[in-house]
Structure 1
Amino acid sequence: MRTQIVAGLVCALLVCTSPVALGIESGPPGQFGGDGDSSIDTRYTLEREPNRTGQVRVTAAIDLPRHVSGLSVRAPAEATVLRASGLRSDGDRWRTTGDTETVRLTYTVPIGLETTFGQRTADTDDWTLLARQEVSLRARWRWHVGPRPTWNESLALAPGQDGVAGTTAAYIGPHETATRAVDGDRITMVVPASADLRPNRTAVLDSISHAKQTSTAGTDHDHIRVFVAPNRLASGGYTPLNGESDVIVNAGEPVQSPVNVWVHEYRHTRQTVETTPEMDWLGEGSADYYTAALTYSAGGISEQQFRNRITTERHETADLTRPDDWDSPGAQYHKGTRVVAAIDARLRQATNGNRTFETVLARLFRQEEPLTLALFAETVSAVAGADLNGFVRAAVTGTAPSVPVDTLTEPVPRGSGSADTTARETNAAPLIDGATTTPGAETDAKKPHSSNAARPVTDRHGEWTVLGTLGMVAVLSVRRQQRR
């Protein structure tokens, strides 16, 4: 009898502490993929508020799988809830009230995403450009024994709204679209009527098409949406969620540049690796290196421009594994580019040109565990077929190594790129230090780089200001607290 009682208590304890008996909170808004009845599908339907400039109306419709026993959601900061169906208010959260398969929450929310380098989205009298994280709910749920539910998010426009809804961004207002077919896939440019596009559309589509056809690592989406930001917004580019198919690029950005932002942001759509803080630089460093390499191979820049970019001496002594110690976020762009270039050259030399850094990225993007420096060095060595551990570690943490540029230029097939139209004045910024910025989100999860957390947004170069410094200090302070 005593044995039976003990066994019963143990079973009860296991059930009570099992993940299927506990709730889980969605991390920063992300799309983690659905699996039929095991996914919680949330669709945000967007509508402009003509008499309330600066805000949009959102109706979130949430479809609940049968084995989800309870759900609570929190509206975005500063949102005003207008009505609810199947949900009741409980302080700052809204909870399901019964067995309803679909619940709804309608609210208005401010639009105007600020990053370290300025304003990326806006709602004006004439148009709206927004990122999904601005309208997304934070959710907790409980479920019965069965598959762990996943949190799926999508965007849609309300009837009568003229615009385009992507996966992680949307535009509403007067616009034109330009579409290019690439090997059966599509690239769609959404060009607002208020945007003064510096390069011609053909040049942009040529550049991204070349990058798509040439890139091999990571996710190759069947539909890429490029939202052109009106010139009044911050220069540079912005990817709301790495690994997803939407990017935002300011209309004033040129194509014929070693820091071709159109290609830089495209490369972020392929990135699916989770990183530890010591390897956060790789996302920007590899995107910037391939920006220069792909623009060069397409004929958009000269060999000298390519050489200058990948041999830059800016931030060459920064320890890339210690972002808290950088004198500016530009280290990940400048030294990161040079480190990736040096490793790419070393791999080509070691394998007679049969393998490149793209091979390394392809392997890393298939990894499930967060990327560390040790795993990075190990993967580079495996691709090279030689021990490059010491070289990689020294390159990342010490002075940037020299780059044998001839190894990277001679085999490159040269294309012919379309010309930029540069006569019109724009507000495009020169090449200045850039940063990666992750907007604020609930921090219930103890590990900011856990596999359930959304991948960081990416903010490509802009003016570095006092406000930017304060923003970076805040980001680093939060990260330091999360590590403790």
Structure 2
Amino acid sequence: MDARLSVVVLCLAVLVSASTAGAAGQATDDGTAEADIEVRYVVDRLPERTGVVEVTAVVDVPEQVTDLSVRLPNNASVQDADGFRPTEPRWQWDSETEGETAELTYVVPVGLRTAYGQRTADTDEWSLLARREVALHARWRWQRGTDPKWTERMVVAPGQSGVAGSTAAYLGPYDSFSRETRDGTVRVVVPEAASLRANRTRILDTVASAQRASRLGPDDDRVTIFAAPNSLAPGGYTPANGEPVVMVNAGEPVATPTNVWVHEYYHTRQTYRTTAEMRWLDEGSADYYAARWTLQQGYIDTGQYRNRVTTDRYENVDLTRPERWPSPDVQYDKGTRVVAAIDARLWQVTDGNATFVDVLARLERADEPVTLDTFADAVSAVAGEDVDAFVRAAVTGPAPPVPTDTAYVASLDAGGHDRQRNATTGGAADPVSGLPDFSGLPVESERVGGAAAMLTLAGLWACLLGVWVRLGRVLWRTGARATPRPRRPR
């Protein structure tokens, strides 16, 4: 094929790929297309009004949907509507706009609080918010095919500097740094108002190593970490488990058994669902692997690891009764110890051939939310013997001891114990041998002066320019006299 024609084909392929990214839908029996209800929350700052942001919810309604209504977030006030009409207490989609886009613009307060303090805020200079603060609550009917999904993502308004992920967004001046690894991308967004305590390279090292060690959850792992300004609550927050977006207070260290950078990353790999009696499993397993992976990375020693997983705090509390917990710390402290004890038990009864990750993999493949019964059954199945009584007693009664013998802890420190299976493919065990060598991987940094969408467009044109440069070199070497005409961005 002629070299110039090759370039044209390649460029067209890139442009078509970019323009069709994110398109959803499949054909039905009658040849019509099925699609999801796609919602984009375009977020904009209101500098004259601190504490609130403006959101335009852009809703693409597929043809099979016949009825749709939405409820606004708490304390939101509508500024404009196109394709929606008020029907208190909801807003009704105008069916005459079938197959088209409907929009609802509203102002909503920002300032999410958890048991540990305020996680999001809107200030004079910046905004950090979670999708749950601005999201619509919808219900709909459809006339054929399968139930369309309600898919949501956040978008930074044109003209704003910021970064938007699927479940959170930051608006304001920022730096970011990232690393491409064999397992995906790790990107850390640092607002101008945030001061990192840990070294940038160390943050990327610890998260990338955890990324490599984990074999649960989504295969395509592109995680965004918002380093929350230090004025917000310490620790971290994950808006939705299984989604690749987390928040970690910029003041959090790495070299600690409660490594929050790893803890929150681990939540991005949790795709199983739990009932109220097993909600502790989310935090207990995240804290356990934060301690274990940080040990394997060499940032803490075995003594620090032992102290964390053998803690006697809340050791007699029933994990299945959160309404009776004396503190939300129960799930972190006793939960961590219970996971560590079960993991050690599995190591003992299987001669090191099975771990707690095999239990989580079974739970992820299940169709129903995790109960104490299904949890105990999964542990027994992995163990190859009945350990039902042990598991139930550990969860609801006094926490069992965690072995601290030399062989077991040494196996953790060396990484040989961390044999994890791919939850989606059932692949062979993948031993992890301590901290990976990231010395040859660069830390990519950027200082942002425009909206994230403009960065994507600039990257596309840079790709096209690179193709033309390579073509010029080829033609020069072959003696061809051809000078490609420069292209201007549209």
Instruction: Verify same fold: TM over 0.5.
Output: yes
Counterpart CA distance in 2 for 1:244 and 1:375 is: 24
The 8 Å contact of residues 34 and 150 in structure 1, kept in 2 or not, is answered as: no
Contact 1:296 1:303 in 2 (8 A): yes
Distance 2:183 2:372 in 1: 37
Indicate if the aligned counterparts of 2:236 and 2:248 stay in contact, CA closer than 8 A: yes
SS in 1 for 2:66: strand
Deviations, residues 140-179 of structure 1 (Å, cap 9, x unaligned) = 1121132111100011111111011011011111101101
Distance 1:417 1:386 in 2: 35
Q: Hey, what's the Cα distance between the residues in 2 that align with 1:153 and 1:66? A: 18
C-alpha displacement of 1:135: 0.8
* 1:51 partner letter: E
Going from structure 1 to structure 2, the CA distance change for 1:283 and 1:35 (only over 3 Å counts) comes to farther
Residue 341 of structure 1: how far off its partner (Å)? 0.6
Cα 1:263–1:184 change in 2 (3 A) is: closer
Gaps of 5+ in 1: 1-32, 419-484
How far the C-alpha of 1:242 sits from its partner, in A, is 0.7
Partner-residue secondary structure (3-state), 1:365: helix
Superposition deviation, residue 39 in structure 1: 0.9
Paired residue secondary structure (1:205): helix
| Cα deviation code 1:199-241 (max 9, x no counterpart) | 0111111111111101122234421000000000011100000
**Which runs of structure 2 are paired with 1:50-69 in the superposition (5 Å)?**
50-69=47-66
State the partner residue of 1:410. 410
For the pair 1:155 / 2:158, whether they are aligned, the reply is: no
Query: What is the letter of the counterpart of residue 338 of structure 1?
Result: R
Matches of 2:135 and 2:408, distance apart in 1: 43
Q: Which amino acid aligns with 1:158?
A: A
8 A Cα contact 2:263 2:287, kept in partner: yes
User: Which residue does 1:298 correspond to in 2?
Assistant: 297
Q: Distance in 2 between matches of 1:73 and 1:325?
A: 35
Write the distance in 2 (CA, Å) between the matches of 1:34 and 1:378.
37
Whether 1:76 aligns to 2:73 is: yes
Partner Cα distance (1:79, 1:325) in 2:
34
1:43 aligns to 2:31 (yes or no): no
The answer to whether the aligner puts 1:231 opposite 2:197 as a matched pair is no
Deviation at residue 48 of structure 1 after TM alignment: 0.8
Give the structure 2 partner of residue 477 of structure 1.
Answer: none
Q: State whether residues 299 and 417 of structure 1, in contact with CA within 8 Å, keep that contact through their aligned partners in structure 2.
A: no
Deviation at 1:184, TM superposition (A): 4.9
Cα pair distance change 1:307/1:184, threshold 3 Å: closer
Answer yes or no: is the 8 Å Cα contact 2:84–2:103 preserved in 1. yes
Correspondence for 1:446: none
Change (3 A) 1:35 1:352: farther
Offset of residue 416 of structure 1: 5.8
Task: Check conservation: 1:40, 1:150, Cα contact below 8 A.
Answer: yes
Asked if residue 375 in structure 1 is aligned to residue 377 in structure 2, the reply is: no
Please tell me whether the aligned partners of residues 34 and 152 of structure 1 are also in contact (alpha carbons under 8 angstroms).
no
Answering whether residue 392 of structure 2 is matched by residue 393 of structure 1, we say yes
For structure 2, which runs of at least 5 residues remain unmatched after alignment?
1-22, 27-33, 416-433, 438-490
Pair 1:97-2:94 in alignment: yes
Q: Partners in 1 of 2:144 and 2:220 — Cα distance? A: 34
Contact persistence 1:217–1:359 (CA under 8 A): no
CA shift for structure 1 position 390: 1.0
Q: Does 1:287 align with 2:286?
A: yes
Contact 2:216 2:361 in 1 (8 A): yes
Rounded to whole Å, the distance in 1 between the matches of 2:51 and 2:62 is: 35
Equivalent AA in structure 2 for residue 107 of structure 1: Y
Please give the residue correspondences for 1:76-475 in structure 2 after superposition, counting only pairs within 5 Å. 76-100=73-97, 101-406=100-405, 407-412=407-412, 413=414, 415=434
Does the aligned pair in 2 maintain the 1:76–1:134 contact within 8 Å? yes
Q: Distance in 2 between matches of 1:408 and 1:273?
A: 28
Aligned to 1:15: none
CA–CA separation in structure 2 for the residues paired with 1:94 and 1:326:
39
Deviations 1:171-192 (A, max 9, x none): 1111011011121510100001
Q: Is the CA contact (8 Å cut-off) linking 1:203 and 1:417 kept in structure 2? A: no
TM-score, scaled relative to structure 1: 0.77
8 Å CA contact 1:192, 1:230 repeated in 2: yes
What secondary structure does 2:237 align onto? strand
How many residue pairs match? The answer is 386
Provide the rounded CA distance (Å) in 2 between the counterparts of 1:65 and 1:147. 12
Which string of whole-angstrom CA distances, capped at 9 and with x for unpartnered residues, describes residues 109-150 of structure 1?
A: 111111121110011111110000111011111211321111
Mapped to 2, the partners of 1:416 and 1:350 lie a distance apart of 27
Q: CA deviation at 1:66?
A: 0.6
Q: CA deviation at 1:325?
A: 2.1
Q: Is the 8 A contact 2:112 2:120 kept in 1?
A: yes
Structure 1 CA distance for aligned equivalents of residues 240 and 257 of structure 2: 23
CA contact (8 A) 1:49 1:55 kept: yes
Are the counterparts in 2 of residues 38 and 147 from structure 1 also a CA contact under 8 Å? no
Aligned residues: percent identity? 56
Q: 2:106 corresponds to which letter in structure 1? A: Y
- For residues 394 and 183 of structure 2, the distance between their equivalents in structure 1, rounded to whole angstroms, comes to 40
Displacement of 1:77: 1.3
Q: Distance in 1 between matches of 2:220 and 2:120?
A: 24
- Amino acid in structure 2 at the alignment position of 1:320: L
Show the 5 A alignment for 1:16-35. 35=25
* Native 8 Å contact 2:183 2:220 kept in 1: no
Contact 2:43 2:53 in 1 (8 A): yes
Contact 2:183 2:212 in 1 (8 A): no
- Structure number with greater Rg is 2
CA RMSD in angstroms, aligned pairs only: 1.6
Aligned to 1:424: none
Alignment-derived partner of residue 459 in structure 2: none
C-alpha distance in 1 between matches for 2:179 and 2:125: 27
For residue 331 of structure 1, report the CA deviation from its aligned partner. 1.5
